Amino acid sequence: MAPRRPARTPIAPAADVPRLRLRLRLRLRLRLRLRLRLRLRLRLRLRLNEYGSRRARVVLVRTPPTPLRPHPLPHSLHSIE
């Protein structure tokens, strides 16, 4: 019979635990940031599909808002001229 391994082998010495925790937190933050960026990009792409090309978007930004279309785009894109 092969000698049994202990049930739980220590993954890291106790001194490394804070460092490991920090690395885990950083990885989580990075993943969150990536997910946010992806969602933003998706939203932009949807908006592009809604209004056609980027040129159409710029034209829309240049046209003043009407009662039917109070804000064609969010304020961040109103600066495109």
Q: Give the pLDDT of residue 81.
A: 45
Q: Give the pLDDT of residue 39.
A: 77
pTM value surpassing 0.75: no
- Which residues of the chain are modeled with pLDDT < 70? 1-3, 5-15, 42-81
Q: Give the pLDDT of residue 58.
A: 57
31 token code pair: 């993943």
The per-residue DSSP string of 32-62 comes to HHHHHHHHHHHHHHHHHHHH-SHHHHHHHHH
Domain map of the chain by residue range? 24-78
Q: Give the pLDDT of residue 10.
A: 62
Q: Give the pLDDT of residue 37.
A: 80
